[in-house]
Chain A
């Protein structure tokens, strides 16, 4: 089995997802994981696909070139190595961190730097801006050695420094 990551983006219009996934379907590829979303007026597609056949990244890229031309997209294909697939790390706990406030430069950078300095991995992050309100929503993974109090203190420091609001909540789900 081979795995590839595909990115595609271009001016938002109907038919981008249909066009790309038609080719993947015809090539016998499974979509393992994906995010497809509109960013301003651009539509961005990120996919991890899996193939049972021995298709190469070049062949896949070539197959996708039809839709690339038709919809004027920019498409990239990269094979994911076996080592990268097997590399699973230990996670202590998952937290949701939400930061919001008046728009100003450096919100994302300062939050991300704080997390990186503590070896906290971001598994999902999105930002929205509406008029002057800036919102950052993220899901992060604490390594086992990091404590909630420690990060809460750091985030509170950032909150005062940048005059933003921050909330952090442990992500818990209940099996019902």
Chain B
């Protein structure tokens, strides 16, 4: 397994639309292994999307299980989702989001609080589940990468985007 290089804005490749996954074969699984390894070795390690490592396929990895957050009440652990679709949603939630591809900024982003998701699992089998709160936000954040959107595109107002002004020795 190897750590893949994460693209950073303003890299134009982050703004590209990703293509659906059709072939769930050996090459795909090998890529997913490396993507997972890359996610696990990043600061929070809660999510990553394939286009962030310059692979423009509709695959995201989410794992909210190891992260303490006030809205993290229920989660499904590690999930490898391809071609994810939100088929129902309800409510609103705002979380301060950061992004591996936009390291110097954070922003308050409004997302659906509850979502019902349909996606293909690692073997291409269609699954459906619903989730809420923190995990729902991570999924929506990662899904945005698949259509070339960053959290900055979703920030509500000028007062909701923040440069990291914290100095540490």
| In the bound complex, CA of A172 to CA of B138 (Å) | 15
Interface residues of A (CB under 8 A from B): 33, 88-91, 94, 123, 141, 171-176
Name the one of A33, A89, A94, A174 contacting B67, with C-beta atoms under 8 angstroms: A174
Interface residues of B (CB under 8 A from A): 42-44, 46-47, 67, 69, 95-100, 106, 134, 137-138, 141-142, 151, 163, 165-169
Q: Which 4 residue pairs across A and B have the least CB separation, nearest first? A: A173-B106, A88-B167, A175-B44, A173-B98
| In the bound complex, CA of A90 to CA of B168 (Å) | 5
CB distance from A84 to the nearest CB of B (A): 13
Do residues B167 and A174 form an inter-chain contact, with CB atoms below 8 A? no
Q: Please, which residues of chain A bring their CB within 8 A of the CB of B141? A: 176
Q: Please, which residues of chain B bring their CB within 8 A of the CB of A91? A: 166-168
Name the one of B142, B163, B165, B167 contacting A176, with C-beta atoms under 8 angstroms: B142
Do residues A174 and B96 form an inter-chain contact, with CB atoms below 8 A? yes
Do residues A174 and B46 form an inter-chain contact, with CB atoms below 8 A? yes
Do residues A173 and B166 form an inter-chain contact, with CB atoms below 8 A? no
Q: Please, which residues of chain A bring their CB within 8 A of the CB of B137? A: 176
Q: Please, which residues of chain B bring their CB within 8 A of the CB of A171? A: 96
Do residues B95 and A174 form an inter-chain contact, with CB atoms below 8 A? yes
Residue of A90, A94, A172, A175 with highest tally of chain B CB at under 10 A: A175
Residue of B nearest to A91 (CB): B166
| In the bound complex, CA of A94 to CA of B167 (Å) | 11
CB distance from A59 to the nearest CB of B (A): 29
Residue of A nearest to B62 (CB): A176
Do residues A90 and B169 form an inter-chain contact, with CB atoms below 8 A? yes
